[in-house]
Amino acid sequence: MHDNFVNETPPQERGSLPLRLPKLEKEFDRNGIDECVVTSSSETFNAWLTRSSADLRMLIDGNPEGPYPMLAWPWFNTVFGRDGIITALECLWMAPRIAEGVLKYLAETQATSEEPERDAEPGKIIHEMRRGEMSVTGEVPFARYYGSVDSTPLFVLLQVLLPSHPQSLVPQGNLAAHQMPIAWIDTYGDRDKTVSSNMRSAPPKD
C-alpha dihedral sign at 132, 136, 139, 143: positive
Q: Is the pLDDT higher at 132 or at 39? A: 39
CA atoms within 13 A on the CB side of 79: 28
pLDDT in tens, 134-166: 666 666 666 788 989 899 999 999 988 886 655
Q: Are 102 and 157 in contact (CB under 8 A)?
A: no
CB 31 within 8 A of CB 103: no
Report the chain's mean pLDDT, rounded to a whole number.
Answer: 77
Please provide the distance, in angstroms rounded to a whole number, between the alpha carbons at the two ends of the chain.
21
Whole-structure pTM value: 0.74
Q: Look at residue 90 and tell me whether its pLDDT is greater than 80.
A: yes
Among the listed residues 6, 3, 101, 104, the one whose alpha carbon sits nearest the alpha carbon of residue 61: 101
Percent of residues, the chain, with pLDDT higher than 90: 27
What is the pLDDT confidence band of residue 23, given thresholds at 50, 70 and 90? low
Question: Who has greater pLDDT, 133 or 40?
Answer: 40
Q: Please give the pLDDT value at position 61.
A: 78
Q: What is the pLDDT of residue 27?
A: 59
Residue 66: its pLDDT value, please?
81
Q: What is the pLDDT of residue 1?
A: 42
Mean pLDDT computed over 11-25:
61
pLDDT at 206 over 50: no
DSSP secondary structure, the chain, as one string? --------S-HHHH--HHHHHHHHHHHHHHT-GGGS----S-HHHHHHHHHHHHHHHHHHTT-TTSS---BSTTTT-B-BHHHHHHHHHHHTTT-HHHHHHHHHHHHHHS--S-BGGGTB-TTPPPSB---SHHHHTTSSSTTSB---SSHHHHHHHHHHHSS---GGGS-TT-THHHHHHHHHHHTGGGTT-SSS----PPPPP-
The pLDDT tens digits of the residues spanning 57-83 come to 888 877 788 888 887 666 667 889 999
pLDDT given at position 154: 95
pLDDT tens figures, 114-135: 998 889 999 999 998 876 666 6
Residue 185 has pLDDT above 50, yes or no: yes
Taking residues 30-50, what's their average pLDDT?
81
